[in-house]
Amino acid sequence: MASKKNTGKDLGKEFNVVPLKAKKASQKNKFLAHGTIKHIDVTAMPGIVPLVDAMKSMAFSSRDLSRAADIYCRMLNDKKCAVILTLAGSMISSGLKKVIVDMIRNNMVDAIVSTGANIVDQDFFEALGFKHYIAGEELKSGQFDSELREHALDRIYDTLIDEEELRICDETTKQIFDDMEPGAYSSRELVHAMGAYLDSKKGPRGDKNSIIYECYKKGVPIFCPAFSDCSAGFGLVAHAAERGDSPRTIWDGGKDFHEITLIKMNCGDTGIFMLGGGVPKNFTQDIVVCAEVLGMDAPMHKYAIQVTVADVRDGALSSSTLKEASSWGKVDTVYEQMVYSEATLAFPLIAGYALHKNAAKGRKGFRFADLFEMQPA
Amino acid sequence: MASKKNTGKDLGKEFNVVPLKAKKASQKNKFLAHGTIKHIDVTAMPGIVPLVDAMKSMAFSSRDLSRAADIYCRMLNDKKCAVILTLAGSMISSGLKKVIVDMIRNNMVDAIVSTGANIVDQDFFEALGFKHYIAGEELKSGQFDSELREHALDRIYDTLIDEEELRICDETTKQIFDDMEPGAYSSRELVHAMGAYLDSKKGPRGDKNSIIYECYKKGVPIFCPAFSDCSAGFGLVAHAAERGDSPRTIWDGGKDFHEITLIKMNCGDTGIFMLGGGVPKNFTQDIVVCAEVLGMDAPMHKYAIQVTVADVRDGALSSSTLKEASSWGKVDTVYEQMVYSEATLAFPLIAGYALHKNAAKGRKGFRFADLFEMQPA
Amino acid sequence: MASKKNTGKDLGKEFNVVPLKAKKASQKNKFLAHGTIKHIDVTAMPGIVPLVDAMKSMAFSSRDLSRAADIYCRMLNDKKCAVILTLAGSMISSGLKKVIVDMIRNNMVDAIVSTGANIVDQDFFEALGFKHYIAGEELKSGQFDSELREHALDRIYDTLIDEEELRICDETTKQIFDDMEPGAYSSRELVHAMGAYLDSKKGPRGDKNSIIYECYKKGVPIFCPAFSDCSAGFGLVAHAAERGDSPRTIWDGGKDFHEITLIKMNCGDTGIFMLGGGVPKNFTQDIVVCAEVLGMDAPMHKYAIQVTVADVRDGALSSSTLKEASSWGKVDTVYEQMVYSEATLAFPLIAGYALHKNAAKGRKGFRFADLFEMQPA
Amino acid sequence: MASKKNTGKDLGKEFNVVPLKAKKASQKNKFLAHGTIKHIDVTAMPGIVPLVDAMKSMAFSSRDLSRAADIYCRMLNDKKCAVILTLAGSMISSGLKKVIVDMIRNNMVDAIVSTGANIVDQDFFEALGFKHYIAGEELKSGQFDSELREHALDRIYDTLIDEEELRICDETTKQIFDDMEPGAYSSRELVHAMGAYLDSKKGPRGDKNSIIYECYKKGVPIFCPAFSDCSAGFGLVAHAAERGDSPRTIWDGGKDFHEITLIKMNCGDTGIFMLGGGVPKNFTQDIVVCAEVLGMDAPMHKYAIQVTVADVRDGALSSSTLKEASSWGKVDTVYEQMVYSEATLAFPLIAGYALHKNAAKGRKGFRFADLFEMQPA
């Protein structure tokens, strides 16, 4: 990796926790006065059931949503079928963390494939005791972003993050990678190590709800197929820069794909519940084909639902229909439904409906994490 | 990675090149009768210049497009500024390959960050001599996807791919990984090896234009931060399944982030030209922060343009404004422009404008690939 | 209007109720087997309140929706403020009729501005005893539209209409116009006559809920600023063709704008609740300016909420922000909120929230219809 | 229309030309420093042809655009087919006026159906010698709209209008209505009178290009089916308020629908070219059914293309597919194409392509305006 010009190796010695341009925290307060994001608790909302039932006989997105909720119930009722949840977009910072945690607790999800941001920058971040802040309406315009920058406040549309806290999250991932036996790990293994870290600290701080931690306890594997594209990526780079040529912790991205394919080969029937599209959607759909490549005529995903506002006409994967996926042999077309909605509106209704309908009654989790032993390649 | 239940290791011995469910190729012909995708050649279209100039005094997307073209010219005129192109969505299969190849040939791009699909499934695929097919209008409805599946034809909205050919692409990546010295590589190194493979075969086949090959010759590094999420992922898994516990080729995803950050630290000023959003956008924007983490107060991206139809109100990164990125300290706000358009309409105009305005006259490529020597970790 | 070539006057003698190309009704049944649209009844769903309350501390569309619901409550609590509801898109056929009827019954709306389709083709149509049908999922693809045409079934995305029934609706509007004293009427007056017609038939048939009828009884005026662009337009043309040069019923579109401006001048403060954009949005926003043209310094709309998925970047009025409307002096910016959602998801939540929060408690309707006496110009 | 409370009749005596809250014009200059909108001249851009031809073998929107351009050429080559152009959204203020004027001049359009804003507020406005201004980038955020209001500057996304000039446009329409023989007129007749007004002033001022004026000379009728929803609506109301109970000029909206249906009955085959959707789209599609209601088995629109970014999943008419229209018997499905693009990008390419391909060579306009004599009902 080296060159004479500038390798960055020396620079890495002094890992920079405090953002260079941040002003004093005291000045940030005016931006943080709107309080913090609270995660919706659908377990307390049985009123979701008649709402979604009524949507069945309406039109447009409401009927689609009702049908998606019905398909999710079918996945859960189908005892031989494993459920994979995929996450793209800022789902945790937007207040959906507890919905997902409740799904895990109630054996309603068996594997998660996510962008790194949701899992590390947002869920792990909150498990360390930090919060996401509600941004004032006027910040959405972008006219105040330079000022936010001066106070080291990062904006996600209508939400703020304290960058100094995010740097501590980065640093913590580095410490976890520092403490691991050098070797090549899947993101599942690295996230598992983050769960173990939380466990060693007596569980998550803050509101005590953490996807990583809940999955750690319930044997639900989490894959981040673009794992370096998040806070953990900073940790990986800082770890590598510090180690130089010495053995180190490596994220082995191919192992991710291998492991999740083994899960597909192990369980047979699968249903996928997708929030947004992106790499998590594509990666998860592809495991059917990868199983085939490895010589097993694995069945297509039997059930598939997706919540997205992406437009099919841009030709991108995020918006590609689930019917299109069937041409690739990835998704069966009997039980598939796309719901055209921003996720914070539709997801609590779909998950809450299945929860209050007891669709997972008697269902046991697949505990796919137990398939693997923690061992570097 | 092992468990007693089902490791897939034995299965991997018989790598499956032919899709299991494919019917005879002869039956596919009715679907392939519309011909193949041809890549637009903007070098032959000087008429783009007056068109884009006129847009400067119009409104809405046309004015935005004209401003984006102007900013791209500024990037290229700014001799100290390196240009990074990011690609998400199916850009190559949609006919944009030659535009990108011409940009590389004319020193108009210094690094590429892309989804794996664009680089491997589409560009490398075509370099092996295969083509993308034009799908008939009626196929867009999705009503014929089951039938396409029977003929092993994969659909991307209005385009078809012969899955048997795609399996050969998968298999070729496996062979390349088989032939490499075992070790941990960045996606840049793995794609470089694909360029070397093409070189060993006397260059790309088909229309002789290949992004991978052109970058190989011009020292332009290509990063795929979700590299296992494409045809090469199948190759990595098949390679790993075959090797079992023996040393193997590993995709070291953290190394990707490290290397591109070193590029940022090496060059200083940067401009980014983004088609779509997704992981490539996020990954590229993050390198400014990563440089800071490594102790260098690197400047924000000085110029940034993005072509996308993603809607900012869904809160996802793909649609997040470039102003928002400035709150993260990633993008400066003086020269930034989003263009609301599907890429096949806007990209040829922006790139063609800069080309015919000779914006890169006298510009030399940065040859960032030369910063690195090919060596596994 | 006449010319020697072809006036259509003779043709109009034989008003054509039965669509020319319709096949026998018995053949339609397979398409109508999915049942009929049922209108959601939010009065039975108190569970909407905790759901919307939780959204207040989330992000993206959920927070926007919660804020819109809060603003709607403020409108209703502000006793001097009249509430105008605008409707674009197929809101009635999609199952939202009863939500609107319940708003009228509970004094939660004082005037309605709508596309003609919602009021005539859909609400009046159902009041005549007809139903909208649920279309099968496969019909959405458009591949069966020619077949639907053969059976005289009209499709609205995922909903079907029996065109023979719609022709009876057309014919009924003609009869109503036939029975009126010749003269020039606003659409408010013509819709009022439709309410009187229903009253003479002892109220609406079917599920007994009708916006036209409820408004007729509660003195809530309904304006359709593009009134000829719906089933009533067919009635107007057939009526005019039959009358020839004799005096006839005329829709006086300028009178619409005059009357609604007088309402604004009469009441002072106004709040607007918009579903979709289009002509109803523009027309309603414009009354502030029109009052000013008539010499009264009328206050801007004090409250404004809109539910839409239109994208601001296309520059169209439907998607134009409520802030932009303030530059025109139409909408004040303190209490305005756009909600990015398809209406069937967001509207029941916003309306149901205000209903169960008793936001209109003690509120009396403005009975604006009483301002006008029924008299042709 | 009267009531004792407040009729507005007295107020109307003093028609208010100057916006009440406007500050001195001198203060506006900082906002108007970016110059004025210039209309793109595709007649000078033969380079559009190879660009659109190349798009034929690409994917996504580019292929759709190329197909739409081809269908437009077919419409024009089909000598028995009349072409109807529909306009929604701010097409004129965005710089597309001259494209439309050139289409009229070259016999490439036989009737226009439009929102009132395009025809009156924008085209007639410019014909009076006024201009649209380019807004600075920072104004798009909406943060300066209150300040714009203080200077009586109206914003359309990235474009500004001087409201004092717009009031003069309102006032001019009132004068035209004042000068007409009292009676009930279609919008076609009222717009024709505006053309006559321009003719009496020796043609349009400013850049000398005007849709109204060109149509006046070429016998191309213009319909605005929501005619009161624009600057002319202010004129109609002010005219009516002044006249009180005396005879006056009335916009007879039903007559619009009658007249355009007579055009359909007169000509037989029709092709429609739609920019945006809204009332113009629906109104124009409906004339096929209306002809049937009047007893003629008129053929469906033989060709149909639409440029829009509206999303089909919201169930609205603007986004409804042209296939869906065929279920209503409105549009034939052989030659129909939707293009997913903001209009300023796609429309110059489609129109310019047909122009430079000489698709209308030898074509004569239908001069539908000659069918009608100017006579009030």
Of B37, B50, B345, the CB nearest to D346: B345
Percentage of chain B with pLDDT > 90? 80
Q: What is the mean pLDDT of residues B173-192?
A: 98
Distances B175 to B114, B240, C42, C132 between C-alpha atoms, Å: 22, 12, 62, 59
Q: What is the DSSP letter of C9?
A: T
Q: Each residue of D294-338: pLDDT tens digit?
A: 999 899 999 999 999 988 888 888 888 888 999 898 988 789 999
Average pLDDT of every residue of chain A: 92
Confidence of residue D167 (pLDDT cuts 50, 70, 90): very high
Average pLDDT of every residue of chain B: 92
Å between B273 CA and nearest CA of chain C: 20
Average pLDDT of every residue of chain C: 92
Distances B173 to A110, B167, B232 between C-alpha atoms, Å: 31, 10, 6
For B283, the token pair is 């990954």
SS3 A76: helix
- What amino acid occupies position C137? E
Q: Determine contact, residues D83/D202, Cβ cutoff 8 Å.
A: no
Q: Can you tell me which residue has the tokens 């609506």?
A: D233
Residue B1, pLDDT score: 32
Q: Can you tell me which residue has the tokens 């897939």?
A: B8
Among candidate residues B88, C63, C351, the one with its CA nearest the CA of residue A342: C63
Confidence of residue B3 (pLDDT cuts 50, 70, 90): very low
Residue D233, pLDDT score: 97
Q: Are strands B270-275 and B301-308 parallel, antiparallel or unpaired?
A: parallel
Q: Is the pLDDT of residue A333 over 60?
A: yes
Residues of chain A with a CB closer than 8 angstroms to some CB in chain D: 59-61, 138, 141-143, 311, 313-315, 340
Subunits in contact with chain A (3 or more CB pairs closer than 8 Å)? B, C, D
Q: What is the DSSP letter of C248?
A: -
Confidence of residue A22 (pLDDT cuts 50, 70, 90): low
Residues from chain D contacting residue B65 (CB–CB below 8 Å): 345
Å between B247 CA and nearest CA of chain A: 8
Q: Determine contact, residues D96/D347, Cβ cutoff 8 Å.
A: yes
Å between A141 CA and nearest CA of chain D: 5
What count of CB pairs under 8 Å joins C to D? 346
Distance CA(D337)–CA(D199), nearest Å, equals: 37
Mutate to test the interface with B, among A258, A311, A341 (most CBs of B within 10 A): A258
Residue C12, pLDDT score: 36
Å between A282 CA and nearest CA of chain B: 7
- What amino acid occupies position A285? Q
Residue B28, pLDDT score: 81
Q: Each residue of C106-128: pLDDT tens digit?
A: 999 999 999 999 999 999 999 99
CB contact under 8 A, B47 and D44: no
Residues of chain C with a CB closer than 8 angstroms to some CB in chain B: 59-61, 138, 141-143, 311, 313-315, 340
Distance CA(B318)–CA(B276), nearest Å, equals: 7
Residues from chain C contacting residue D282 (CB–CB below 8 Å): 117, 229
Q: Determine contact, residues B319/B308, Cβ cutoff 8 Å.
A: yes
SS3 A307: strand
Distance CA(B316)–CA(A91), nearest Å, equals: 9
Å between B362 CA and nearest CA of chain D: 27
Residues from chain C contacting residue B142 (CB–CB below 8 Å): 141
Q: Each residue of A44-59: pLDDT tens digit?
A: 999 999 999 999 999 9
Confidence of residue B33 (pLDDT cuts 50, 70, 90): very high
Residues of chain B with a CB closer than 8 angstroms to some CB in chain C: 59-61, 138, 141-143, 311, 313-315, 340
Residue C322, pLDDT score: 87
Q: Are strands C133-134 and C159-162 parallel, antiparallel or unpaired?
A: antiparallel
Subunits in contact with chain C (3 or more CB pairs closer than 8 Å)? A, B, D
Residue D133, pLDDT score: 98
Residues from chain B contacting residue A94 (CB–CB below 8 Å): 315
Residues from chain B contacting residue C307 (CB–CB below 8 Å): none
Residues of chain D with a CB closer than 8 angstroms to some CB in chain A: 59-61, 138, 141-143, 311, 313-315, 340
Q: Is the pLDDT of residue D13 over 60?
A: no
Residues from chain A contacting residue C158 (CB–CB below 8 Å): 59-60, 63
Of B141, B142, B313, the CB nearest to C60: B313
Q: Is the pLDDT of residue B69 over 90?
A: yes
Set C264, C281, C302, C330: catalytic member? C330
Q: What is the mean pLDDT of residues A21-37?
A: 80
Percentage of chain C with pLDDT > 70? 92
Distances C276 to C158, C169, C184, D280 between C-alpha atoms, Å: 18, 25, 29, 16
Residue A318, pLDDT score: 84
Q: Determine contact, residues D302/D322, Cβ cutoff 8 Å.
A: no
Among candidate residues A81, A82, A87, A113, the one with its CA nearest the CA of residue A283: A113
DSSP for C40-85, written as a single string: --GGG-TTHHHHHHHHTTS-HHHHHHHHHHHHHHHHHH-TT-EEEE
Q: Determine contact, residues D154/C327, Cβ cutoff 8 Å.
A: yes
Å between A60 CA and nearest CA of chain D: 6
Of A154, A254, A290, the CB nearest to B327: A154
Residue A330 annotated as catalytic: yes
CB contact under 8 A, C313 and B142: no
Sign of the C-alpha dihedral computed for residues A142, A143, A149 and A151 taken in this order: negative
Of D35, D93, D341, the CB nearest to B345: D341
Sign of the C-alpha dihedral computed for residues B356, B359, B364 and B366 taken in this order: negative
Q: Determine contact, residues B11/A296, Cβ cutoff 8 Å.
A: yes
Average pLDDT of every residue of chain D: 92
Q: Each residue of D97-123: pLDDT tens digit?
A: 999 999 999 999 999 999 999 999 999
Among candidate residues B322, C249, B186, the one with its CA nearest the CA of residue A236: B186
Set A330, A357, A361, A364: catalytic member? A330
Q: What is the mean pLDDT of residues C4-26?
A: 50
Q: Is the pLDDT of residue C305 over 90?
A: yes
Residue C56, pLDDT score: 98
CB contact under 8 A, D258 and C237: yes
Residue of A nearest to B145 (CA): A327
Element (H, E) at B272: strand B270-275
Residues from chain A contacting residue C40 (CB–CB below 8 Å): 54-55, 58, 62
Residue B13, pLDDT score: 44
Q: What is the mean pLDDT of residues D18-30?
A: 66
Confidence of residue C1 (pLDDT cuts 50, 70, 90): very low
Mutate to test the interface with A, among D60, D65, D312, D313 (most CBs of A within 10 A): D313
Residue B371, pLDDT score: 92
Distance CA(B14)–CA(B8), nearest Å, equals: 11
Q: What is the mean pLDDT of residues D209-222?
A: 98
Q: Is the pLDDT of residue B11 over 60?
A: no
Q: Each residue of A176-214: pLDDT tens digit?
A: 999 999 999 999 999 999 999 999 999 999 999 999 999
Q: Each residue of B302-349: pLDDT tens digit?
A: 999 999 998 888 878 888 888 899 989 899 878 999 999 999 999 999
Confidence of residue A14 (pLDDT cuts 50, 70, 90): low
Confidence of residue A12 (pLDDT cuts 50, 70, 90): very low
Distance CA(A17)–CA(B293), nearest Å, equals: 7
Mutate to test the interface with C, among A337, A344, A353 (most CBs of C within 10 A): A344
Q: Each residue of C323-350: pLDDT tens digit?
A: 899 989 899 888 999 999 999 999 999 9
Q: What is the mean pLDDT of residues B203-221?
A: 97
Residues from chain B contacting residue A236 (CB–CB below 8 Å): 253-254, 257-258
Of C50, C134, C156, the CB nearest to A44: C50
Distance CA(A303)–CA(B332), nearest Å, equals: 44
Query: Looking at the annotation, which residues of D are catalytic?
Result: 330
Phi and psi for D235 in degrees, rounded to 5?
-65, -45
Residue B2, pLDDT score: 33
Distance CA(A163)–CA(A19), nearest Å, equals: 7
Confidence of residue C22 (pLDDT cuts 50, 70, 90): low
Q: Are strands C183-185 and C249-251 parallel, antiparallel or unpaired?
A: parallel
Among candidate residues A257, A265, A263, the one with its CA nearest the CA of residue A286: A257
Q: Which of C251-260, D122-131, D227-236, D311-320 has the weakest average pLDDT?
A: D311-320
Q: What is the mean pLDDT of residues A231-247?
A: 96
Q: Each residue of A74-126: pLDDT tens digit?
A: 999 999 999 999 999 999 999 999 999 999 999 999 999 999 999 999 999 99
Q: Which of C7-16, C111-120, C278-287, D79-88 has the weakest average pLDDT?
A: C7-16
Å between C348 CA and nearest CA of chain A: 9
Residues A27, A31, A34: CA angle, nearest 5 degrees? 135
Residue bearing the bigger pLDDT, A329 or D117: D117
Set B98, B264, B302, B330: catalytic member? B330
Q: Is the pLDDT of residue D190 over 90?
A: yes
Q: What is the DSSP letter of B354?
A: H
Q: Each residue of D256-283: pLDDT tens digit?
A: 999 999 999 998 899 999 999 999 999 9
Q: Can you tell me which residue has the tokens 């395009």?
A: D118
For residue C154, list its beta bridge partners: C161
Q: What is the DSSP letter of B28?
A: G
Of D57, D65, D158, the CB nearest to B35: D57
- Using N-to-C axis directions, what is the helix angle for B211-218 and B97-105, rounded to 10°? 10
Residue A25, pLDDT score: 61
